[in-house]
Structure 1
Amino acid sequence: MRQRYSFHADQAGHSVTVNVRTGWITETELLVDGKECAFHRVHGHGVYPLTLSAQLAGEPPLPLSVRLDRTGVAEQPYSCVLTVAGSEHPMPERAAR
């Protein structure tokens, strides 16, 4: 059975979302302002931590990365951290749509 998890943060006027769909194939997507900027697909549960990179639009563009990790806790199996300009921001989990 597939499970879905979603993490979201607002950063510098931009929306950053990470969606995870687990199952026989695990898919992870990084959305910036609603547009897919990075995608990772692996059979099984994958290897963690997983880091995806993108950039925030602007002059100059601002690089960002998100690090997704397994927690080992059944109630919250993943944690997600957004890194922008060398500063880390935990991304709260939200109800997957």
Structure 2
Amino acid sequence: MRRRHHFHIDHAGHSISTTVQTGHTAVVEVLVDGKEVGYAKTSGDRPVPVTVELPTEPPTLVTVRATPGPGIPRCLLEVPGAEPQMMSPRPY
């Protein structure tokens, strides 16, 4: 059974949202300021890293690490030189 989970965090003045669709194949979509900038698929419950670029000056590369399972999915924002930050789940 497929299910969609939504996560969000604000970083460096930008809105970062992630949707994790679970099922046999997990699909991860990352949006920055409402625009899709990253996409990945994986089988099973393996963590999926999606590296995206924030439109800062100079551009900043960050990684969203989505873990589809087991259980409820989780997402972390990984920024170079900082501790990973848990992204907040959002009900839609």
Q: Does the residue aligned with 1:85 lie in a helix, a strand or coil? A: coil
Distance in structure 2 (CA, Å) of the matches to 1:3 and 1:71? 12
Aligned residues: 91
TM-score by structure 1 length? 0.80
Q: Which position in structure 2 is the counterpart of 1:95?
A: 91
Distance in structure 2 (CA, Å) of the matches to 1:71 and 1:23? 10
Q: Does the residue aligned with 2:61 lie in a helix, a strand or coil? A: strand
For residues 14-54 of structure 1, give each alpha carbon's deviation from its aligned partner in whole angstroms, at most 9, with x where no partner exists.
Answer: 00011012235432101111111111235xx4351110001
Q: Which position in structure 2 is the counterpart of 1:79?
A: 74
Distance in structure 1 (CA, Å) of the matches to 2:85 and 2:54? 15
Stretches of structure 1 lacking an aligned partner (at least 5 in a row)? none
- State the AA in 2 paired with 1:20: V
Distance in structure 2 (CA, Å) of the matches to 1:71 and 1:2? 13
Distance in structure 1 (CA, Å) of the matches to 2:41 and 2:64? 16
Structural RMSD (CA): 1.8
Q: Which position in structure 2 is the counterpart of 1:22?
A: 22
Q: Which position in structure 2 is the counterpart of 1:68?
A: 66
TM-score by structure 2 length? 0.84
Percent identity over the alignment is 37
Larger Rg computed on CA atoms: 1
Stretches of structure 2 lacking an aligned partner (at least 5 in a row)? none
